[in-house]
Amino acid sequence: NIYRIILFDQRGCGRSLPHGELENNTTPFLISDMETIRKQLNIDCWLIFGGSWGATLGLCYAQLYPDKVLAMILRGVFLGRKQDIDWVYAEGGASKLFPDAWQNLVEDLPESEQKEPLKTYYLQLTNIDELHQMAAAKTLQAWESTIVTLRDHEHQPDPTQDPSPLAHSRIQLHFALNECFIAEAPILEGVDKIREIPTIIVHGRYDIVCPIQQTWELHQEWPEAELNIVPMAGHAAGEPVLINALVTATKSIARTLQPAHKPLT
């Protein structure tokens, strides 16, 4: 009875159609979609809960509409800068920790493209040949599933059977190649707009996808936000220690914000 929870699939993902659509699919459009949802549901102000790219989008939304945000709970913050994207998709970042998995990602590419394979994979994912699309999505998913968690790797869906992983990969690389459409409004430069919003940031100490340095830089600019570094945790929200930390964060925010009996959104 504490929270009214609203979930949505962003453009082209999950149950939003068409799958993998790239036209008019940018961060400003997604922020506009969030604001449309808020208005359609007659919500005055709401709490933003997001992890990884969801944290990026939540921060961007809050910086544009700070008066509509009661509080935020963020996990595995991703700042969306070129250096953050290159950590995952260029040689010299996560590839140094998982050289075997990186080799599997790039070994079939021309040597000239192996250090920065992002553009090549994007071309394959947008190729008219569906077999090229599926193969590229499957290889990317194998790389990402390797670095996302400290636990044993979970089964990855087959893009030939389920269109959503293919859509996910297409959209993810579309945003990555365009520096998440936020290069003109970097998150760290907009902290003053959200400084007074109660916020808890949860980050796994051994997050390989979004290294904790990103959250640390944000926290240096925004010491008012509460930072919880979770030992023995990676990036995936499903890791038990991260689940516990996030549940604790929701209870803490509720105690801070909740009036006597009004549910939080």
Q: Are residues 172 and 204 in the same domain?
A: no
Q: Which residues contact 44 (CB under 8 A, 6 or more apart)?
A: 68
Q: Is 43 a member of any domain? A: yes
Dig out the tokens for 221 from the structure. 């600019």
CA distances from 156 to 21, 139, 245 (A): 22, 11, 25
Strand 69-75 relative to strand 226-230: parallel, antiparallel, unpaired? unpaired
Check residue 152 and give its pLDDT: 63
DSSP output for 154-172: PPPPPTTT-HHHHHHHHHH
- Which pTM does this prediction carry? 0.92
Boundary residue ending a domain (147, 180, 213): 180
Residue 132 located in a structural domain: yes
Instruction: Identify whether 235 is a catalytic site residue.
Output: yes
| Total number of domains in the chain | 2
Question: What range defines the domain where residue 194 resides?
Answer: 27-82+183-257
- How much is the pLDDT for 159? 47
Beta strands in the chain (DSSP E): 46-51, 69-75, 199-204, 226-230
Do residue 49 and residue 117 come from a single domain? no
SS3 state at 10: coil
Catalytic entry in 174, 203, 207, 219: 207
Of the residues 52, 84, 95, 174, which is catalytic? 52
Domain-terminating residue out of 158, 180, 202: 180
The reply to whether 169 belongs to the active site is no
Domain assignment of residue 263, yes or no: no
* Per-residue confidence (pLDDT) for residue 249, from 0 to 100: 98
Provide block-wise average pLDDT over 10 residues at a time, the chain (265 residues): 93 91 97 98 97 98 98 98 97 97 96 95 90 92 93 54 77 97 95 98 98 98 98 96 98 85 63
Task: Give the Cα-Cα-Cα angle 160, 165, 171 (nearest 5 degrees).
Answer: 125
Quote the DSSP letter at residue 264: B
153 classed as catalytic:
no
